[in-house]
Amino acid sequence: MERAGRRAVERVLARLAAPGEGPVHVACTPEELDKEWREPPPEEGADLADLVDRLADSALTAGMRSDHPRCFAFVPSAGTFPAVLADALGAAFLAVPGAWLVGSGATQLELVTVEWLCALLELPEGSGGLFVSGGSEANLVALTVARDSRLGGDPRGARAYCSDQAHPSVARALHILGFSRDQLVVLPADASLRLPVDELARRVAADRAAGLRPFAVVATAGTTSTGAIDPLPELAAVCRAEGLWLHTDGALGAVARISDPGRALLAGLEASDSVTVDPHKWLFQPYDIGCLLLREPGLLRDSFALTRHSLDVDAGYLSASTRPAPGDATDPVNLSDHGVQLSRGPRALKLWLSLKTFGVRAFREAVADGMRRAAHAGERIAAHPGLELTSPPSLCVVTFRHRPPGLPPGPELDAVQGHISRTVVASGDAMILPTRVRGEQVLRLCTINPRATDADVDAALDLVAAIGDQLSSGTRDSGHGPLG
């Protein structure tokens, strides 16, 4: 154990000490990985330290290196060393914050860390929630509570609303909950790619007049594509007037509220009935840790308490073993009554240990720095002769495209962006993926990695421009269109 343990720690330290070493992406085909890894179940054991090396050398490095300073794809987590230790400690101590009887300490840490998040996001007194696997599950739990509290258990004629910029996990959550696709009203975003409030109010009124039952609005605080923030105060006013549940999907952007520049941008977040936060994004945690925060956390129990779903009258052995004995002064908190999981991992540990180790100020500064880096990227793109902005920097996201001289918007220009992205990824020098903005293919940077510098942004943009220029000059020479 000691030898293998030391080996694992050495590998962790080597990895974390050199985030910029090696390619940003290691492409492997299924055949290559099959060849290396597919084998019958091993009947006999092997040396643990050697196996640690084998994992670290290959399986764990195939694919994208999200902590690489030139990884600008998706919403890349950078990880922290305290979080690595917390995950290992949680596994060693088998801490389970599902029932107080089983994991009182782990439960207490989760309650405290959730309280910290509520305070940092300036949510109303009494707010609370729980950690889940990620933003997708947080949206699912939120919409479950919204349904139960606003529809009295009857989904017929119900309608939920979001913009076409909302994350697909919203539609998937409603699907899981048994709503049909037409029960989610998807409104086209306005010119700023935000949920249009007047249009929402009109549609809610029309649906009511048609005998339908509007019950929830999903706002996005930081859309995945462009970082746009839906108008939270105005949406809250509509929801208040109409008695609708306001869920804010802040998986990408809610955390910006802890920083000076992000605080004003996220004004109104506190008026949400529930908020998705995703610490494995802008709080730099390793996967997986998402979080749902609610103004009335007690509603979680109404939806999820096992006693509600128990199949026998006295709620079975779980109830018998985890409820307080008659006469006990306090009702213990069993977080398995607050969400989907019964046995659950101690996700709070890593965030707690990271916040305690570095202090909140370091996180505030790192978040502000991610926003500043997006602004820097925006300035560089605007000044670059071969590049053009397609949406302004918002939070930590900026979109842009390469614009060969004389090539108008259209399928050919879209194809250029796809070609550039594939070439950048194949080079291993940076990771930049496309997205679609107003129906057009563009390139996207997400700049949250605290280890990235302005020089990394500049290098990535220069690479895009160089590949684009090469493509255009090849085209000029051959007389064909940019992609032949």
Ligand X SMILES: Cc1ncc(COP(=O)(O)O)c(C=O)c1O
Distance CA 407, CA 101 (A): 66
Using the contact rule CB under 6 A, the part of the chain among 90-98, 176-184, 244-252, 386-394 near ligand X is 244-252
Distance CA 408, CA 414 (A): 10
Q: How far is the CB of 476 from ligand X (least distance, A)?
A: 39
Q: How far is the CB of 372 from ligand X (least distance, A)?
A: 21
Interface pick for ligand X out of 77, 224, 341, 417 (rule CB under 6 A): 224
Would you say 8 or 448 has its CB closer to ligand X?
Answer: 448
Q: How far is the CB of 430 from ligand X (least distance, A)?
A: 19
Q: Does 218 bind ligand X (CB under 6 A)?
A: no
Would you say 25 or 444 has its CB closer to ligand X?
Answer: 444
Q: Does 226 bind ligand X (CB under 6 A)?
A: no
Distance CA 421, CA 463 (A): 10
Specify the DSSP class assigned to residue 404.
Answer: -
Q: Does 75 bind ligand X (CB under 6 A)?
A: yes
Q: How far is the CB of 336 from ligand X (least distance, A)?
A: 20
Using the contact rule CB under 6 A, the part of the chain among 176-184, 246-254, 347-355, 381-389 near ligand X is 246-254
Using the contact rule CB under 6 A, the part of the chain among 9-17, 31-39, 248-256, 259-267 near ligand X is 248-256
Angle made by CA atoms 414, 27, 70, in degrees to the nearest 5: 70
Q: Does 76 bind ligand X (CB under 6 A)?
A: no
Q: How far is the CB of 75 from ligand X (least distance, A)?
A: 5
What is the DSSP track for 308-368?
HH-SSTT-HHHHHHHSPPTT-SS----GGGSSS-SS---THHHHHHHHHHH-HHHHHHHHH
Q: Check: CB of residue 346 under 8 Å from CB of residue 367.
A: no
**Chain centre distance of CA 197:** 25
Q: Does 275 bind ligand X (CB under 6 A)?
A: no
Interface pick for ligand X out of 87, 234, 249, 456 (rule CB under 6 A): 249
Q: Does 230 bind ligand X (CB under 6 A)?
A: no
Q: Check: CB of residue 451 under 8 Å from CB of residue 15.
A: no
Q: How far is CA 375 from CA 251, 274, 326, 369, in A?
A: 20, 29, 60, 10
Q: Does 273 bind ligand X (CB under 6 A)?
A: no
Q: Does 446 bind ligand X (CB under 6 A)?
A: no
Q: Does 220 bind ligand X (CB under 6 A)?
A: yes
Per-residue mark of binding to ligand X, 120-149 (x: CB under 6 A): --------------xxx-------------
Distance CA 70, CA 142 (A): 34
Angle made by CA atoms 118, 341, 300, in degrees to the nearest 5: 45
Q: How far is the CB of 28 from ligand X (least distance, A)?
A: 22
Q: How far is the CB of 168 from ligand X (least distance, A)?
A: 8
Q: Check: CB of residue 270 under 8 Å from CB of residue 125.
A: no
Q: Does 417 bind ligand X (CB under 6 A)?
A: no
Interface pick for ligand X out of 76, 286, 290, 339 (rule CB under 6 A): 290
89 burial type by CB count under 10 A (0-12 exposed, 13-18 middle, 19+ buried): middle
Q: Does 234 bind ligand X (CB under 6 A)?
A: no
The H-or-E segment that residue 394 falls in is: strand 387-394
Q: How far is CA 84 from CA 13, 78, 234, 347, in A?
A: 10, 12, 41, 11
Distance CA 432, CA 64 (A): 11
Q: Check: CB of residue 414 under 8 Å from CB of residue 403.
A: no
- Total residues binding ligand X (CB under 6 A): 13
Q: How far is the CB of 49 from ligand X (least distance, A)?
A: 33
Would you say 251 or 467 has its CB closer to ligand X?
Answer: 251
* Residues near ligand X, by CB under 6 A: 75, 134-136, 167, 169, 220, 224, 249, 251-252, 278, 290
